[in-house]
């Protein structure tokens, strides 16, 4: 079993829909990252969080440390949100860069 599991693996939505992507992990962590990988391959860091909730524009990330679960929400989705969304965790006592990655959720938003 992978240490970081994402669901769903693939997601198709209509423009304007509210989207949720889930990430569960099995190790103790000090931080969790959400990344966005564009169709061309470029990767952008969206959030780093260790507790609670963060919001940036239409994106919201939450984490529940006790349940070892994080969610990424996209409100009023748009075709330009189409990308692969990747969850990554930094396990306790590992260095800052030593991240464990999920396999990603491929999101396609149709106009």
List residues binding other proteins (CB under 8 A).
30-31, 33, 41-45, 48, 50, 86, 88, 90, 92-104
Residue among 54 and 73 whose Cβ is closer to other proteins: 54
Closest contact distance (angstroms) between CB of 27 and other proteins is 14
Burial 6-26 (b: 16+ CB within 10 A, else e): beeeebebeeeeebebebbbe
Strand, coil or helix: 66? coil
Closest contact distance (angstroms) between CB of 32 and other proteins is 10
C-alpha to C-alpha distance for 19 and 2, rounded to whole angstroms? 24
Residue among 74 and 87 whose Cβ is closer to other proteins: 87
Closest contact distance (angstroms) between CB of 40 and other proteins is 9
Residue among 77 and 104 whose Cβ is closer to other proteins: 104
Strand, coil or helix: 56? strand
- On whether the CB atoms of residues 48 and 42 are closer than 8 A, the answer is no
């Amino acid at each position: 079993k992978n240490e970081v599991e994402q669901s769903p693996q693939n997601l198709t939505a209509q423009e304007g829909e509210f989207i949720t992507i889930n990430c569960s992990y099995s190790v103790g962590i000090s931080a969790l990252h959400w990344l966005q990988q564009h169709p061309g391959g470029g990767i952008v860091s969206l959030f780093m969080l260790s507790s609670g909730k963060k919001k940036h524009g239409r994106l919201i990330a939450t984490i529940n440390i006790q349940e070892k679960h994080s969610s990424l929400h996209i409100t009023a989705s748009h075709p330009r949100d189409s990308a692969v969304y990747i969850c990554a965790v930094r396990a306790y006592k590992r260095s800052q860069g030593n991240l464990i990655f999920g396999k990603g959720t491929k999101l396609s938003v149709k106009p």
